[in-house]
Amino acid sequence: MRRAFGALLAAATIAATGAAGQGFREFRSGPPGAFDYYILALSWSPTFCAFEGGRRADDQCEPGRRLGFVVHGLWPELERGRLGDCGELSRPPSRMALEEARGVFPSEGLARHEWRVHGACTGRSPAEYFADVRRARGSVRIPDASRKPDREWTASPREVERAFAGANPGLRADMMSVTCRRGQLQEVRICLERDLRGFRACPRASGGACPLDGLVVTEPR
């Protein structure tokens, strides 16, 4: 698998950047629809399931599903700070709206949560928001090396970024970030224009720090 990532690296035409990660700030309130860009957060399911997902028997962690990258959420963001926790201003999604989320999120519970915390801040209806999530996910190609891995492997954060850039023309390192949890790949976060028509540069908002020499990418089960 390391060789597969290496091949993707060779195909990438971007220059690596050394910008430092910037941690997420606390949520800021604001009127729905008043945001600057989106982050599409793609979670590496095996890491989630190795921690809280497996302990609470989350649907996405059922044995045999072998999920790799899944949609965590589509987050409306501000140039300075985060926009979120708008659930008290929104109506819950209808069953029809949740049908739009089916097959995009790994579980209905996650779809409901993401609508309450993030989707309600977009100014869109639940059905429109879930359709936007589907559209955003469809605009990003997962690198071949991580589509159906059959073993655990290691890769540096920069290698993961370059693999995604190589699979997605126009995507650069300053348009995404890689996050880790206890040395394991957690998420790849990709910044998109608010009309979802392209990638864009953005403040690098990282979660847990990743080891520079190599993070563990666990095998789906």
| Residues annotated as catalytic (active site), given as ranges | 72, 114, 118
Contact 185, 196 (CB under 8 A): no
The CA-based angle 96-101-103, given to 5 degrees, is: 125
- Cα→Cα distances 19→13, 169, 176, 216, Å: 18, 21, 11, 22
d(CA 96, CA 38): 24
Sequence-ordered list of residues with C-beta below 8 angstroms from that of 167, at least 6 positions apart, any chain:
8, 141, 142, 143, 144
| Encoded tokens for 156 | 């540096």
